[in-house]
Amino acid sequence: MQHRSVFFISDGTGITAESVGHLLAHFPTVSFKHIRLPFTDSEQKVEEALVKIAETEKADGVRPIVVMTLVNTDLRDKLKQSNAVHLDVFGSFVDPLAEELQEQPSRTSGIAHSVLGNSYYERIDAINFTLNHDDGMTDFGLSEAQVILVGVSRCGKTPTSLYLAMQFGIKAANYPLIPEDLERGTLPEALKKYPEKLYGLSINPERLHSVRSERRPDSHYASLDNCRHEIRLAEDLMHREGISWIDSTSRSIEELSTIILQKIRVNSNH
Amino acid sequence: MQHRSVFFISDGTGITAESVGHLLAHFPTVSFKHIRLPFTDSEQKVEEALVKIAETEKADGVRPIVVMTLVNTDLRDKLKQSNAVHLDVFGSFVDPLAEELQEQPSRTSGIAHSVLGNSYYERIDAINFTLNHDDGMTDFGLSEAQVILVGVSRCGKTPTSLYLAMQFGIKAANYPLIPEDLERGTLPEALKKYPEKLYGLSINPERLHSVRSERRPDSHYASLDNCRHEIRLAEDLMHREGISWIDSTSRSIEELSTIILQKIRVNSNH
């Protein structure tokens, strides 16, 4: 197996650079070692980075990959003196944008992930809302929710809600469908006012059995029979109530969130 | 103010494309309207995208910007027939990487944010750990934490812990320093075993007063005098215990997490 070191070098957090680094997943036969050098925002720090890159090349016997987001063009040019392969995110995208927009880009480092960028406080509010409305914790304030995820216990509602809040600033409540709801065959009372906000998650019974067994092995709750029973009743209920749902079994929280976002049609301005 | 429409078009979730879109924050004088077209993975869907781009150009009176991550080269070429400015993330980065690595990139759509990519289940485990160890909820399992954030109530511990878990797969517990700890002048008993895991957050008193006042206006808890008192005692305590801390006042959770990550020196292989 091929091994490669990848540096993420940024004058800010390096989070944009690392996001681009997700593309490395398209080379599953290569083993990548990630090295983060955030806040590389001075000549001295770039020099230190150059030393590390050179040392790494020597140790690896092959040149490293550098994914870089530096706003300062002098620092960018200096870093590119390394012998690495440079994936220059700023050079590739911000420079052409500046030309298209006929605007000089702000040279403030790290603006993309600062409290100034991307509706930061809206996202923090959404995270707090989501934590306070996890697992049907309270009905108070549900009217503020942009989406309310429903489904049986442990089908993925909580991490999906948090991802929606953290990444997209969506106020996402979640509410479990518990055995009492399922046997009664109706939605929890608190949800009946918000049919347009409801979105369902389901899961395959074998997977649910395995997830629940990690928490409560050998319980009725985790048994395959009970998982099958709960899921069947939950899907029947959602069907009767006209609630769309998606199967979380082999989908990541990123994929689930993206599908839900399409559904609730949020084309925001940020 | 200049207005521009930006399309994020991907055969997967579009999350990598949107991350690149964070760079738009470097043009603060332009108002961008975001339009997400995830799961654009067929000729028909690309054709639909082309129609939307053309309609948007007509409505805006100026050509849109397209940030695109498509693995299929035919679909990529087809999309580039639009009159927009194309920022082709795959073409810019994956193609040069393929040449450098001498490997064909996987043509599976959306691999970067699927359950296959980027240590997905490790991140989900970390999110669950972090939720179960929020706000000193339990001492059980603290030995598994990779970091334990400490600080006064409402200084930013919870969202920072969640970001560390969600983005980096770090098991991040957090533990409040409550008035009883502060008056006693010693750490909570449960933390004394883990000095090497502790990391502090602090905040300026005016900001803390404002944050706490949103929750409990006119309380002793939120009063500026009490905020000053708690912060002084907390910083004294952290200083005596040799705990590093950072000021969360004007830092985003991305910036705080990045600084903490540097501190705990996680250079992982994913």
Name the DSSP letter for residue B213: H
- The fold adopted by the segment(s) B120-263 is Rossmann fold (3.40.50)
Question: Which residues of chain A from 173 to 202 reach within 8 Å of chain B, CB to CB?
Answer: none
* Dihedral Cα B114, B119, B121, B127, nearest 10 deg: -100
pLDDT band at B268 (very low <50, low <70, confident <90, very high): very low
Residue A104 neighbours by CB distance under 10 Å = 10
Query: Which residues of B are less than 8 Å from A12 in CB distance?
Result: 255
C-alpha dist (Å) from residue B83 to A183, B55, B56, B111: 56, 11, 11, 28
CB contact under 8 A, B106 and A28: yes
Q: The pTM is what? A: 0.91
Cα B120 from Cα B270, distance rounded (Å): 10
| ipTM metric | 0.90
Quick one: what percent of chain A has pLDDT higher than 70? 97
The answer for A 19-58 residues in CB contact with B (under 8 A) is 19-20, 22-36, 38-39
Q: Is B62 exposed, middle or buried (0-12, 13-18, 19+ CB in 10 A)?
A: middle
Closest by alpha carbon to B253, among A33, A113, A46?
A113
Q: pLDDT by residue (tens digit) across A98-155? A: 999 999 999 888 888 888 766 889 999 999 999 999 999 999 999 999 999 999 999 9
| pLDDT tens sequence across B162-192 | 999 999 999 999 999 999 999 999 999 999 9
Q: Output the six-digit token pair for A159.
A: 């991490």
Contact B101 A16 (CB under 8 A): no
Residue B119's pLDDT band, with cuts at 50, 70 and 90, is confident
Averaged confidence pLDDT in chain A: 93
Q: Domain A2-113 belongs to what topology?
A: Rossmann fold (3.40.50)
Of residues B259 and A116, more confidently modeled? B259
Q: What are phi and psi of A233, to 5 degrees?
A: -65, -40
Provide the residue ranges of all domains of chain A, joining segments of one domain with +.
2-113, 120-263
Q: Which of A69-82 are b and which e, b meaning 16 or more Cβ less than 10 Å from the residue's Cβ? A: bbbbeebbebbeeb
Structure tokens at B177: 């320093």
- Tens of pLDDT, residue by residue over A152-185, are 999 999 999 999 999 999 999 999 999 999 999 9
Residue burial B248-258, b: 16+ Cβ < 10 Å; e: rest: bbebbbbbbbb
Which residues on A lie below 8 Å from B16 (Cβ)?
19-20, 22-23
The yes-or-no answer to whether B2-113 and B120-263 have a common fold is yes
Cβ separation B251–A115 shorter than 8 A: yes
CA atoms of B158 and B133, how far apart (whole Å): 10
